[in-house]
Amino acid sequence: MAGPTPVSALIHAATMVTAGVFILIRSSIIIDYSTTGLFFITIIGVFTAFFSATIGIFQNDIKKIIAYSTCSQLGYMVFICGLSNYSLSLFHLTNHAFFKALLFLSAGSVIHALSDEQDIRKYGGLLKILPFSYVMILIGSLSLMGIPFLTGFYSKDLIIEVSFISYLINNGFIYWLSVITAFFTSIYSIRLIIFTFFVKPNGFKKSYQQIHDSPIFMMFSLFFLCINSIFFGFIFKDLFVGLGVDTWLNSFNYYSKNILFLESEFLPFYIKNLPFFFSLIGVLVAYFFYNYLILILF
């Protein structure tokens, strides 16, 4: 996490760390012939998502929180490859690129404003000073959490739904672990926002005297990513996933028994909405714990 935030945004959103997922997707013709291989890919992916989310809760470096968030979302992309839904993995990879780049660049705006300070424990009280950065981080975090009708919702929730109805593995275990991961995602996202913008200022006086919001050129790039973090998933969902989508032609290997988008439309109400409810519970738990309980204890 020593690199500049534009480099971190590029690496985590679009190039290096997602290359492995892309290789899995392009290797679908080989992977799909091995049920044992699919099993191990699914298990490794879902545990990666879960453990990375739990680690992110205890990080204090703003860039490390977002970086472990990337590891967690990569776990989602990997385990859905293990369930033979490669187009859905690519859809989440593309959506993730927008809101993760938005989060990293917004974090860079905050770091730059506070004289290169990255420890969120030395932030606080920035809501009125950096309102634009706050809105950008909020929208990126909500999209990451899979809040309905933002970009992340259209791929992340579909991944969780498909994991419930997959015939390839013990679907209940995968489903519940991915739902719990969504709960932890909400906790570390809200923790970052509270420590950065809402608690009392904890930084150095010199840093706060020199503070300023993003210049116009930074704002333009953040605004572009913000728009895509809100609308891209809704607009392009039918281009990536669903019945009859021929966008990828023979790029992926498909077995008809693993195309589960139709079944996912007819899941019970509580199964389809449980990830959102767990995310909402995570928001409330994080808000209560970090905004009230810590202030009382410390």
Residue (of 260, 297, 294) closest to 120 by Cα position = 294
pLDDT of 186 reads: 95
pLDDT at 65 over 50: yes
pLDDT(253) > 90: no
pLDDT digits (tens, 9 = 90+) for 208-217: 777 877 788 8
Mean confidence (pLDDT) of the chain? 86
The DSSP annotation for 41-88 comes to: HHHHHHHHHHHHHHHHHT--BHHHHHHHHHHHHHHHHHHHHHTT-HHH
- Nearest by Cα to 161 from 148, 150, 171, 149: 171
Residue 119's φ and ψ, nearest 5 degrees, are -85, 115
Cα–Cα distances in angstroms (integers) from residue 57 to residues 45, 86, 138, 212, in the given order: 19, 29, 17, 28
Indicate if the alpha-carbon torsion angle 194, 198, 200, 204 is positive or negative.
positive
pLDDT in tens, 156-195: 999 998 888 876 666 788 999 999 999 999 999 999 999 9
Q: Which range, 14-18, 82-86, 179-183, is most confident? A: 179-183
Q: Are 171 and 164 in contact (CB under 8 A)?
A: yes
- Distance, in Å, from the CA atom of 264 to the CA atom of 268, rounded to the nearest integer, reads 9
Q: What is the mean pLDDT of residues 193-201?
A: 89
| Other beta carbons less than 10 A from residue 127's beta carbon | 13
What is the extent of the structural domain holding 220?
5-297
Q: Which amino acid belongs to residue 133?
A: S
Mean pLDDT of 211-224: 85
* Residues with Cβ within 8 Å of residue 276, at least 6 apart in sequence: 146, 147, 148, 157
pLDDT digits (tens, 9 = 90+) for 265-275: 778 888 888 99
The fraction of the chain above a pLDDT of 90, given in percent, is 46
Q: Within the chain, where are the H helices?
A: 5-13, 16-26, 28-31, 35-57, 62-82, 86-113, 131-145, 151-165, 171-193, 205-209, 216-240, 261-264, 269-288, 294-297
Q: Are 229 and 151 in contact (CB under 8 A)?
A: yes
Question: Beta partners for 119?
Answer: 61
256: pLDDT strictly greater than 70: no
- Number of structural domains in the chain: 1
With a cut of 50, say whether residue 298 has pLDDT above it.
no
- Helix (H/G/I), strand (E/B), else coil: 187: helix
44-53 exposure pattern, b = at least 16 Cβ within 10 A, e = fewer: ebbebbbbbb
What are the distances in angstroms from CA 258 to CA 34, 85, 87, 292? 14, 7, 12, 46
> What was the pLDDT predicted at 267?
82
- pLDDT of 120-167, one tens digit each? 988 888 888 899 999 999 999 999 999 999 999 999 999 998 888 876
Q: How far is CA 230 from the centre of its chain?
A: 13
